Amino acid sequence: MKRFFTLLISFFFAGCSSTSKHIISKIPEASDISYCANKKTLVVANDEGKFYEITVDGKILSENYLGKYDLEGVVCEEERFVFAVENGYILTVDRHTLQQNLIPIKNMEDISKKHGIEGITKIGNDYIISIQSQDKDDAMLAILSLLDNEAIIKSTISHGIIDSSGMDYKDNKLYIVSDKKDKLYIYDLKNNEILQKADLPAIATEGVALDDEGNIFFADDSGAVLKYKLKELTLHN
């Protein structure tokens, strides 16, 4: 089965010459990615309850199974990983011991009766989760305060970006990817407006991360991590 999966992924990307040169790692069902600034590595979550730590060149350093979680987002912090779980939980994992803490999101059912969590990032002391929607009017972000035993939704923001599947925060800007639209949006939270956008390759984009060297990374649900220079993307209004 593993050999079959490898051949399937190889076949898929063989026909995508425009993206194949950017593939740095192959990780099944990659659902999000985050940059670990203290170690200059990346953490990649997947839909099967696993996470991988890799170098910025794609070498897999470790693979860990956390349990039967549909991990849809990840934030790398100095001492822990913070995962967004699709059905309305936050899972924190100690980076040294791998000790887990599963934290329910309070009142999550009020905003996600039809839509699950599809991404997470951190701004200051708060976390922002993306609530996926195919309806522009329902597309939103939720700002969370994370405690040891619960996560509290402080406010929501309607951003109008359908199928927002992942995001990252860098230099006071929110970078949001849409799988359905194959676009990267640069969003201004203060003024609640899209500043710029860029067309992306037609891949199953599920996550995005930026490092400190001008690189941008994408997690592809079809089984890969891709690396670009941010300046390679054509940004427009």
Domains, the chain, ranges and CATH? 23-236 (2.120.10.30)
Amino acid at 130: S
Q: Alpha-carbon distance 231 to 237, whole Å?
A: 15
Backbone angles phi, psi at 12, to 5 degrees: -60, -50
pLDDT for the residue 30: 95
- 107 — pLDDT class (breaks 50, 70, 90): confident
Across the chain, mean pLDDT equals 88
Closest CA to 47 of 206, 182, 202: 206
Q: Alpha-carbon distance 92 to 66, whole Å?
A: 11
pLDDT for the residue 235: 87
Look up residue 231 and give its DSSP letter.
Answer: G
- 111 — pLDDT class (breaks 50, 70, 90): low
Stretch among 61-70, 129-138, 171-180 having the lowest mean pLDDT: 129-138
pLDDT for the residue 228: 95
Amino acid at 144: L
Average pLDDT over residues 192-204: 90
Place of tokens 């970006």: 161
Place of tokens 């992924």: 9
CA atoms within 13 A on the CB side of 28: 15
Q: Is a pLDDT exceeding 60 seen at residue 105?
A: yes
pTM of the model: 0.89
CA 164 to mean position of chain CA atoms: 10
Closest CA to 207 of 17, 25, 68: 25
pLDDT for the residue 112: 55
